[in-house]
Amino acid sequence: MAKKKIEVDEDMLKEIMAGDIPIFGREKQKENAPPPVETKSAEVVENPPEEKPPVAVQEKTTVKPKKRKEDSFDYRKMFLTEGTVQHRQQTYLSQETHNAVRRFLSVVAPNINISRYIDNIVNAHLEQYRDEMDNLLTNEINNLLNNK
């Protein structure tokens, strides 16, 4: 009795596991398709919960997002751009957040992978709050040095 041979596209399975291809709603890119445009991306690494050092509790403040003119802010151009994330690092999201992002992208932008979308969001956040983040970092370093 002959066994049925099943062919598996290992590369596609790897991309699905990495979040580059949604499990549904998109076929693998054709071989003759032009390569995606490469863009700079920031590497974001999040330590697993058990490795995080204890952090002092700070009073929560509500940060209002900066308002932009409707014509100057185009969500699609800023966050829903195609491409691949180079030199990827693993990070974790809650299952609820991942499912919400997956559902959103499958309807609004099925050609965009989750890792690219999140990378675009984080890059925009880093750019928008660069000065505030630099100030926080400087203050923490100064506090560390002054508490000797």
Lowest mean per-residue pLDDT among 32-36, 93-97, 125-129? 32-36
pLDDT for 148: 64
pLDDT for 73: 55
Compute CA 26 distance to the chain's CA centroid, rounded to the nearest angstrom: 19
Quick one: what percent of the chain has pLDDT higher than 70?
A: 60
Compute CA 146 distance to the chain's CA centroid, rounded to the nearest angstrom: 36
The verdict on pTM exceeding 0.75 is no
Q: In 3D, which of 119, 53, 51, 57 has the Cα closest to residue 82? A: 119
Residue pair 109/79 in contact by the 8 Å Cβ criterion: no
Cα–Cα distance between 9 and 15 in angstroms, integer?
A: 10
